[in-house]
A = this chain, B = another copy of it.
């Protein structure tokens, strides 16, 4: 934390701020400047809310300096975390040189639909399958997912085609069930700061895919992951899925720059979801290429064999044959970065 004093702050005011800092068990470092004095603070700041210094006489502003996350930080672990996701056909790696494709319908609608999509995806190299059994929907009158029967369908997809399964939990109750059936537990964007759920995810035995909230800063995103790691679950993948802006042409604005930004600060892998990130079918392929080109560790793509009959998000689902093209193009781009897609 750095405390900036007013240009006309008195020496007495500076002294009082320093005293208050030291009374909190921290150390104050006044830096007298030509125009004004600033006061650096060192020590363990996390235990106190230093913002209150801003209300002392003569203070202009408190500027946070050190980042609040620890376990997710490259300071704590310098090398990339590589996640190992078990599937019936062996492990899928995510992170480091490994780029993972995850595909499947937005929602598990029926067994027939899920098997039909899965069968088509199985023909590509993709080995991870996604599909929602619990669907957070803006309207209470929209399809909310099949619940546990949906999880059973996913289990059948797993068995039939050898996919690892990623599916979303929306509260502690559903997380208990998802943990039994799936290989990766997804926490959705709307729950990124559902801290109760994050703590439960931190006690889960399965890897977590944590999606970025719609207006989450990078610090908040990493702090949400910190909640999971701080409870003991170190197997966390992040996922960028678009942020909310004034955009008039897409549902969200896919913030691809977050990928190198995460990689600079954290050892965790980060995937990109170009389907939610754009909300439009014709943007999924170009943004998938861009995501791999920017250095993402994987893609989460909505695929449906009959998108215009989908019960949710049909607008952003691509066809299985479009996904095959996508898989082919991103593989070539990964090669340029000396990475490989599995």
Residue of A68, A215, A332, A337 ringed by the most chain B CB atoms within 10 A: A215
Chain B residues with Cβ below 8 Å from A337 are 289, 329
Assess whether A261 is in contact with B257, with CB atoms less than 8 Å apart: no
Instruction: Please measure, in the bound complex, the distance between the C-alpha atom of A20 and the C-alpha atom of B256, giving whole angstroms.
Output: 33
As a 0/1 sequence over residues 8 to 31 of chain A, the CB contacts with chain B under 8 angstroms (1 = contact) are 100000000000100000000101
Report copies per complex: 4
Chain B residues with Cβ below 8 Å from A42 are 31-34
With A191-B194, A193-B190, A314-B51: A257-B246 Cβ-Cβ less than 8 Å? no
As a 0/1 sequence over residues 238 to 251 of chain A, the CB contacts with chain B under 8 angstroms (1 = contact) are 00000111111110
Assess whether A31 is in contact with B29, with CB atoms less than 8 Å apart: yes
Looking at the assembled complex, report how far the CB atom of A80 sits from the nearest CB atom of chain B, in whole angstroms: 15
Assess whether A243 is in contact with B249, with CB atoms less than 8 Å apart: no
The contact of A257 among B250, B294, B312, by CB within 8 Å, is B250
Chain B residues with Cβ below 8 Å from A214 are 215
Chain B residues with Cβ below 8 Å from A89 are none
The contact of A253 among B31, B65, B172, B245, by CB within 8 Å, is B245
Residue on B nearest A138 in the bound complex, by CB: B223
Residue on B nearest A136 in the bound complex, by CB: B195
Chain B residues with Cβ below 8 Å from A250 are 257, 261
Considering only CB atoms and an 8 Å cut-off, how many residues of chain A contact the other chain? 111
Chain B residues with Cβ below 8 Å from A227 are 140
Report if A292 contacts B (CB, 8 A).
Answer: yes
Looking at the assembled complex, report how far the CB atom of A46 sits from the nearest CB atom of chain B, in whole angstroms: 5
Report if A340 contacts B (CB, 8 A).
Answer: no
As a 0/1 sequence over residues 304 to 335 of chain A, the CB contacts with chain B under 8 angstroms (1 = contact) are 00011111111100000000000001001100
Assess whether A218 is in contact with B249, with CB atoms less than 8 Å apart: yes
The contact of A246 among B196, B244, B256, B336, by CB within 8 Å, is B244
Closest 3 CB pairs of A and B: A215-B215, A51-B315, A33-B42
Question: Which A residues lie at the B interface, using CB under 8 A?
Answer: 2, 4, 6-8, 20, 29, 31-36, 38, 40, 42-44, 46, 49, 51-56, 63, 65-66, 68-69, 75, 136-142, 144, 170-174, 190-191, 193-197, 199, 214-215, 217-220, 223, 226-227, 230-231, 243-250, 253-261, 264, 277-278, 280-283, 286-287, 289-295, 307-315, 329, 332-333, 336-337
Instruction: A218-B247, A247-B257, A256-B256 are known; give 15 further A-B pairs, CB within 8 A.
Output: A6-B75, A8-B75, A31-B42, A49-B312, A52-B310, A68-B138, A68-B141, A69-B139, A139-B226, A140-B226, A190-B193, A215-B246, A217-B249, A243-B246, A289-B333
